[in-house]
Amino acid sequence: MIFGYLASEMSTSALSQHVCFILVEPAHPGNIGSAARAIKTMGFRDLRVVSPWEENYRTHPEAIAYSTSSVDVLQSSRSYGSLLEALEGVHFAWAMSGYDREFGPAIEPVRAVAEKAVDFVKEKQGNIAFVFGCERTGLSNEQMAMCQGCAAIPADPDCTSLNLSQAVQIMAYEMHMAMMDKTITHDGLYEWQERFAGEKLAGPQAIEGFLAHFEEAMIHCGVLDPKEPKLFMPRVRRLFSRTQLTQPEVDLLRGVCSQIISPKNERSGKKCPKK
């Protein structure tokens, strides 16, 4: 892949195009399908498979079932006869392994690796790969030697074994988060994070009016004794001060207060005046 723009202009989707996930000799078609789902949910699409035990994994019922909404990634995955062939176009490869070996690159935690990987793509303008070994034996020493870096998932020492697709999901997630941290735009993937951004915050007068209304409602329903208020309202005030109430939220809460003070079926068309 060729970079056609400055690194500073790269968005998360642009960065993800330069990342691939390679499964070496996977034994179970279901793991390949699950891996396809794992990377797609994090914004990646390039899945490569080396010498799978099941040659027809793309159409295998288990792989299709486990890929769920990511069948497109599963079926567009490329298969290779060797890891060296699968590394075509890759400028830096990270081997995924939790085993300390006498030879090979030093092991680093996945979070640190993700940050380095994103910087590599942005600054050095190269493509990267994350290489996962067979479920039973992992990567061989020879396969490890083809990679310039080694990433490990910090796990409980009493239970360090992870399913192949789980490991893919964790690495894909860490890469996704690192890309989000290092780019300005999220490409609209997370519009739900700003779904209330257009609502104006309630001003001091609106807040005070609501608190007075709330106090009246609490007295009316017997929760608050006006003769012995203690710290009830100060605590309520502190509670709502942490929420940064918007005007629509204040209106909603005042509607609840009105209903407590005078239920709709008792109001006979009268509206409880706002304070």
Q: Quick one: pLDDT at residue 2?
A: 38
Specify if 273 maps to a domain: no
176 three-state secondary structure: helix
Q: Is the pLDDT of residue 4 over 80?
A: no
Task: Give the pLDDT score at 1.
Answer: 38
Q: Considering the domain boundaries, does residue 112 fall inside one?
A: yes
Is 214 a member of any domain? yes
Number of domains in the chain: 2
Mean pLDDT of 23-44: 96
Q: Could you say which of 150, 182, 214 is where a domain stops? A: 182
Among 46-60, 105-119, 253-267, the range scoring the smallest mean pLDDT is: 253-267
What pLDDT, on the 0 to 100 scale, is given for residue 161? 80
pLDDT at position 273, please? 54
Q: Are 173 and 55 found together in one domain?
A: yes
* 238 shares its domain with 165: no
178 and 83 housed in the same domain = yes
Residue 257 belongs to domain with CATH number: 1.10.8.590
**Residue 188 located in a structural domain:** no
C-alpha–C-alpha distance, residues 192 and 194, integer Å: 5
Q: What is the mean pLDDT of residues 30-41?
A: 97
Q: Is residue 189 domain-resident?
A: no
User: What integer is the mean pLDDT of 245-268?
Assistant: 88
- 82/166 same-domain check: yes
DSSP state of 49: E
pLDDT of 52 reads 97
pLDDT at 193: 60
Please indicate, yes or no, whether residues 159 and 219 belong to a single structural domain of this protein.
no
- My answer on whether 112 and 15 are in the same domain is yes
Q: Specify the pairing of strand 46-50 against strand 78-80.
A: parallel
**Is the predicted pLDDT of residue 129 greater than 80, yes or no?**
yes
Confidence of residue 6 (pLDDT cuts 50, 70, 90): very low
Between 122 and 83, residue with greater pLDDT:
83
Percent of residues, the chain, with pLDDT higher than 70: 85
Domain shared by 222 and 133, yes or no: no
| Cα end-to-end span (Å), the chain | 64
In a domain, 194, yes or no: no
- pLDDT score recorded for residue 244: 87
Q: Is residue 228 domain-shared with residue 100, that is, in the same domain?
A: no
Nearest to 8, CA basis, from 123, 142, 178: 123
173 in any annotated domain: yes
Who has greater pLDDT, 76 or 13? 76
pLDDT over 90 for what percent of the chain?
Answer: 68
Examine the pLDDT at 118 and tell me if it is beyond 70: yes
* Whether residue 171 is found in the same domain as residue 140: yes
Determine, yes or no, domain membership for 1: no
Q: What is the pLDDT of residues 219-254, one digit of tens each?
A: 999 999 999 999 999 999 999 999 889 999 999 999
Q: Find the CATH number of the domain harbouring 102.
A: 3.40.1280.10
- Name the DSSP class of 134: B
Q: Does 44 share its domain with 101? A: yes
Q: Are residues 98 and 22 in the same domain?
A: yes
Q: Which residue is associated with the tokens 């723009």?
A: 5
Exposed, middle or buried by CB within 10 Å (0-12, 13-18, 19+), for 244? exposed
C-alpha to C-alpha distance for 117 and 128, rounded to whole angstroms:
7
* Contact of 117 with 128, CB cutoff 8 Å: yes
The residue that leads in pLDDT, 274 or 84, is 84
Judge if 93 and 218 occupy the same domain: no
Tokens of 270: 């009268």
Q: For residue range 170-220, list pLDDT tens digits in order.
A: 999 999 999 988 776 555 566 666 666 678 889 999 999 999 999 999 999
Q: Which domain holds residue 39?
A: 7-182
